[in-house]
Structure 1
Amino acid sequence: MKEVLYRKWRPKNLNQVVGQEHIVTTLEYAIQQNRLAHAYLFCGPRGTGKTSTARILAKSINCKAPINNQPDDTCDICISFNKSETLDLIEIDAASNRGIEDIRNIKEKIYTLPTQSKFKIYIIDEAHMLTDPAFNALLKTLEEPPQHVIFILATTESHKLPLTIISRCQRFDFKRISIETIIAKLNQLCVSENITISNEALQLIAKKSSGSLRDAENLLEQAIISYGNSISETQISSFLDLNTNNSEVDLVTSLITKNISEGLKIIIDFCDSGGNVKQFNNQIVELLRTITLAKAGVNTAQIYNQDIQKHIIKLANLSKLESLSKITKIFSEPLLNNNESNSLNLELAFIQCHSLIHKDSNQTNIIQENHNSKNPQSNQQNTAVVNEKNQNLTPAITTEKNHNSKNPQSNQQNTAVVNEKNQNLTPAITTENWKTILSKLRKKGSRFDLSALLRATTERKIENNEIILTYSHASHLERMITELEQIDTKKIFNTTFSQVLGKEFKIVHTTNVENNKNNHHQLKSPLVKAALAKGAQVLDAKEISNE
């Protein structure tokens, strides 16, 4: 059976490891100076060379006649390592050997000396899959292994490893391999395999692989099997189920230029032609990301061809960075990526983004009414004009007309102009602020939940540096007052409001007058009076219909 490309062209020495120069250099120095660690931790995304580097390191430190800190690949040890015939290299798949018994088995065997090499190397792949008891059993061995043993742990999810394990290892973080590096490596591979393929086709493969060289080599091999030794860009686009008509560019153009009908028509036509909606959405997200980066001043010339790049610059100039980030987030929603045939979610996302851009473009800048007026007395009252973008400030601040008419200079000075740079005005309790306050006060309180009591308020307003909270029933007010008698609770309560609103206020608690009247009427009931005489307490009062 023919060997697959990624195994056939797996690097044999550190010089052949691509995209990880920072790691290769450090390991070469360690070998040269004979300053080897007893345990290594290789972290990073899939297909970036973790296991390959671990094998090369094991071979390099055991080679009998290394050349410039690289294995010579001619001695009997190097040959046995290359053929995986040595007994001194033990690879363990932690995904299937993850229990404490497997670790105990290792501990029993590590004291056996190497058969022919200087060091016995244990490579534990997918180390994050080990169980907690297995990690605990490994701790002491990992900290003080025998002098002839070196552990190399490889994982794609280092955050799942206990800190006690990480601290006992010398850690190396493998990064995703750049598109340019992947293209260069695939070019070398194609030359060696006598494959004719354009750089544009290789670029599509490299972008699809998301920084994984192994994925890129697998995709290339599938394309070779499908189309032979001569492969075109069109064939790769068809193979990867990519949209070759630049429909994503037309769609984003329609979105930014606010042509909603044209944009929806592009989506419908794409789906009617049998296109993959999931892949189409991925291309839209990638394009929006590139436009966002271009708007932020990042060089994106290597991502698309020259014609599309010019169009991207134009779209970036027509857009706001904030709007671009919002619509990119909308198109990145997981629900969109879970459907490959139905276009409904994509259409809804387009409409939502169109509305968002239209709203942002219609927002007026904050201005000062009559600020430059030649006749200051014509301004009858001071008004704070609030920019719709600023949700944390009060809608308006009004002063008496007589004061303005008597003092025109004061009229100009006291005109409250609220903009994004002015943070000193009184903030309003917006819906977003209120939700934040409720979230922070959830499960706070000695007897009653402060968040639940605040949800019983019917009105919340700010007047004269006072927050007035109106409760629906007197019982809710009484409970809140009881809670705030506790010094710690009151401190938490007041601090939460001041942190969210950005200013300290005096908080006034009151109740609805009409509800109080109903409550007093209900308390006159003989049944209620009898219960109160027995020591009962009124927790709530509700009107009961006789229907």
Structure 2
Amino acid sequence: MCSSIDEGVALDLIEIDAASNRGIDDIRDLREKARYAPNEASHKVYIIDEAHMLTDQAFNALLKTLEEPPDKVVFILATTESHKIPATILSRCQRYDFARITTALISKRLSEICKSEGFNVEIDALKLIANLASGALRDAINILEQSVVSDDPPISETKVRNLLDIGDDTISLELSKYILDKNTTKALETVNAATNSGIDLRYIHMGLIKYLRAILLIKSNIKLNDSFSEDIYKKIELISQRCEMNSILSCLKILIDPNIKPDPSNPLGLELAIIEIEIQSGNYNDPIVNINQVDNSKTFDDQKEENVQDKKERNDSIKIIKGKKSYPDSIKDIDEADSLTAKDTNTLNNSEGVEILENGWQSILDSLRYTKGQKFNLKALLVTCTSRKITGDSILLGFSHPSHRERMEHELTIPESRKILNDTFANIMSKRYEIIVENNNVTSSENKKNSELDSPLIRVAQSMGAQIIEQTKKRELDN
């Protein structure tokens, strides 16, 4: 009987998901079936999972059955939120509170599973999975299954980290060292490097809290369990010897603040926490200009005359550089002036931006690898992008297929998806751009019309006071 229960084939063990079967009709059906005698076992057992999800009417229907349960029937109400169970139900049940499973027991159970199933998984990988499960054996088994299916044996710790995008565990340890050493620059550089590598920053945040807690406990002469390797444990001891208890407490209080919600790809929350720790430590130097250094010996009129003179000199230098008169003397003058201005302001900046965008394109795709918008995976959409341009503060994405373009346009109408894309591009480009889908449906007649209005001849006429009253098409005359 125990074997059949373990294999999930026992007829007298019935599990009901209260999240899906939460109505009064479902409970009435349960009451009708509970009257029948068990088939194989001595008792028929009903497990109602997530029992707090039942409606009030369903609880009322179940109350009478719990007061006078049928012979040979046992009801087990499983819940993670016992405070939502009505008092009338709780008073008729025996309560058992289950604690989280220790990391050592989870690691041992995973090792037994690997042995029975023939999985080749290294011990360090099993310890990592046990730590990530946070006391939940089911979560640990799920991670183990994903690791075995996703990669070739043997499954190492590095392969598990790559699968979950959590990066090397030493990143969080180095980050905690920099923060406690008041080295804000190195701390921010570490966060930025982790972001560019596509590491999930939530794991960096959790690892940072884990190591700071370990440093706090070692500082308090408390021996830790075997969740850390010998090498990592020695590094934690060294860090604890050269930091103060107040610094550790200040860091932990800020990092566990519920208002700090780390995003998988946006480092802003973590960066703000690091800066706040530095400010509270009193070691942050804000480069503020000392107003006492301003020369107050000159009067307002003197400064005004100097400003006028400086402006005049700048204008004269501009004229010397251009070698042109201050008014348009010909169409050629306007073209040369416009081309010089465009070259100085937009062309160079755009070309540099495009180069940065092309070099960081793969990093952008890696950062959005597991990010889904409202309907579509954002990386999958960007992979179909065929052209990338920069115009001012906007990045134009071109798509050869209309369906791909329409899907990206749809995601950009969703505020959450647009924010994720803008933040990801800003992290790589070191500047915030607005992501726009390039419209390839502009007709040639509209382009021709715009180019005609932008003619140098028309601009010269407009500079002399002319106005466009009417536009007519020029007829083609036969030769």
TM-score by length of 1: 0.48
Report the 3-state secondary structure (helix = DSSP H, G, I; strand = E; otherwise coil) of the residue aligned with 1:297: coil
Say whether 1:269 aligns with 2:193.
yes
Counterpart of 2:142 (choices 218, 221, 231) is 218
CA distance in structure 2 between the partners assigned to 1:135 and 1:265 by the alignment: 55
Say whether 1:182 aligns with 2:106.
yes
Superposed displacement of residue 82, structure 1? 5.1
Counterpart of 1:131 (choices 36, 41, 55) is 55
Say whether 1:233 aligns with 2:157.
yes
Query: What letter corresponds to residue 17 of structure 2 in structure 1?
Result: D
Q: Which runs of 5+ in 2 are unaligned?
A: 285-479
Runs of at least 4 residues off by over 6 Å = none
CA distance in structure 2 between the partners assigned to 1:228 and 1:266 by the alignment: 31
Residues 291/83 of structure 1: CA separation in 2 closer, same or farther (3 Å cut): closer
Superposed displacement of residue 128, structure 1? 1.0
CA distance in structure 1 between the partners assigned to 2:196 and 2:25 by the alignment: 56
More helix by share: 2
Q: What's the Cα RMSD here?
A: 2.5
Cα deviations across residues 181-229 of structure 1 (Å, max 9, x unaligned)?
1111111222223322221111111111111112111111211112223
Query: What letter corresponds to residue 216 of structure 2 in structure 1?
Result: T
Q: Could you tell me which residue of structure 2 aligns to residue 351 of structure 1?
A: 275
Q: Could you tell me which residue of structure 1 aligns to residue 240 of structure 2?
A: 316
Report the 3-state secondary structure (helix = DSSP H, G, I; strand = E; otherwise coil) of the residue aligned with 2:165: coil
Report the 3-state secondary structure (helix = DSSP H, G, I; strand = E; otherwise coil) of the residue aligned with 1:203: helix
Superposed displacement of residue 80, structure 1? 8.8
Counterpart of 1:120 (choices 22, 44, 50) is 44
Query: What letter corresponds to residue 148 of structure 1 in structure 2?
Result: K
Residues 181/261 of structure 1: CA separation in 2 closer, same or farther (3 Å cut): same
Alignment of structure 1 residues 2-17 onto 2, 5 Å: none
8 Å CA contact 1:301, 1:309 repeated in 2: no
The percent identity for this pair of structures is 43
CA distance in structure 1 between the partners assigned to 2:158 and 2:40 by the alignment: 53
Q: Could you tell me which residue of structure 2 aligns to residue 258 of structure 1?
A: 182
Q: Could you tell me which residue of structure 1 aligns to residue 306 of structure 2?
A: none
CA distance in structure 2 between the partners assigned to 1:105 and 1:272 by the alignment: 55
Counterpart of 1:153 (choices 77, 87, 90) is 77
Report the 3-state secondary structure (helix = DSSP H, G, I; strand = E; otherwise coil) of the residue aligned with 1:170: coil
CA distance in structure 1 between the partners assigned to 2:199 and 2:22 by the alignment: 42
8 Å CA contact 2:181, 2:243 repeated in 1: no
CA distance in structure 1 between the partners assigned to 2:6 and 2:194 by the alignment: 52
Q: Could you tell me which residue of structure 1 aligns to residue 210 of structure 2?
A: 286
Report the 3-state secondary structure (helix = DSSP H, G, I; strand = E; otherwise coil) of the residue aligned with 1:173: coil
8 Å CA contact 1:194, 1:229 repeated in 2: no
Cα deviations across residues 276-317 of structure 1 (Å, max 9, x unaligned)?
222221211221122222233332242222222122223333
8 Å CA contact 2:262, 2:270 repeated in 1: no
Superposed displacement of residue 343, structure 1? 1.6
Cα deviations across residues 318-337 of structure 1 (Å, max 9, x unaligned)?
44445423322322344544
Counterpart of 2:9 (choices 76, 84, 88) is 84
Alignment of structure 1 residues 68-467 onto 2, 5 Å: 71=2, 73=3, 84=9, 86=11, 88-115=12-39, 117-244=41-168, 246-334=170-258, 336-358=260-282
CA distance in structure 1 between the partners assigned to 2:189 and 2:38 by the alignment: 69
8 Å CA contact 2:13, 2:46 repeated in 1: yes
Cα deviations across residues 361-399 of structure 1 (Å, max 9, x unaligned)?
xxxxxxxxxxxxxxxxxxxxxxxxxxxxxxxxxxxxxxx
Superposed displacement of residue 96, structure 1? 1.4
**Count of paired positions:** 284
Residues 117/81 of structure 1: CA separation in 2 closer, same or farther (3 Å cut): farther
Query: What letter corresponds to residue 168 of structure 2 in structure 1?
Result: T
CA distance in structure 2 between the partners assigned to 1:210 and 1:291 by the alignment: 19
Superposed displacement of residue 338, structure 1? 4.2
Query: What letter corresponds to residue 58 of structure 2 in structure 1?
Result: A
8 Å CA contact 1:278, 1:336 repeated in 2: no
CA distance in structure 2 between the partners assigned to 1:354 and 1:160 by the alignment: 42
Report the 3-state secondary structure (helix = DSSP H, G, I; strand = E; otherwise coil) of the residue aligned with 1:228: coil
8 Å CA contact 1:124, 1:153 repeated in 2: yes
8 Å CA contact 1:126, 1:154 repeated in 2: yes
Residues 147/290 of structure 1: CA separation in 2 closer, same or farther (3 Å cut): same
CA distance in structure 1 between the partners assigned to 2:125 and 2:176 by the alignment: 24
CA distance in structure 2 between the partners assigned to 1:278 and 1:80 by the alignment: 38
Superposed displacement of residue 245, structure 1? 6.5
8 Å CA contact 1:291, 1:316 repeated in 2: yes
Residues 90/186 of structure 1: CA separation in 2 closer, same or farther (3 Å cut): closer
CA distance in structure 1 between the partners assigned to 2:228 and 2:43 by the alignment: 49
8 Å CA contact 1:128, 1:157 repeated in 2: yes
Q: Could you tell me which residue of structure 2 aligns to residue 53 of structure 1?
A: none
Report the 3-state secondary structure (helix = DSSP H, G, I; strand = E; otherwise coil) of the residue aligned with 1:293: helix
Residues 133/319 of structure 1: CA separation in 2 closer, same or farther (3 Å cut): farther
Query: What letter corresponds to residue 256 of structure 1 in structure 2?
Result: L
Superposed displacement of residue 116, structure 1? 5.0
Q: Could you tell me which residue of structure 1 aligns to residue 461 of structure 2?
A: none
Report the 3-state secondary structure (helix = DSSP H, G, I; strand = E; otherwise coil) of the residue aligned with 1:123: strand
CA distance in structure 2 between the partners assigned to 1:331 and 1:196 by the alignment: 37
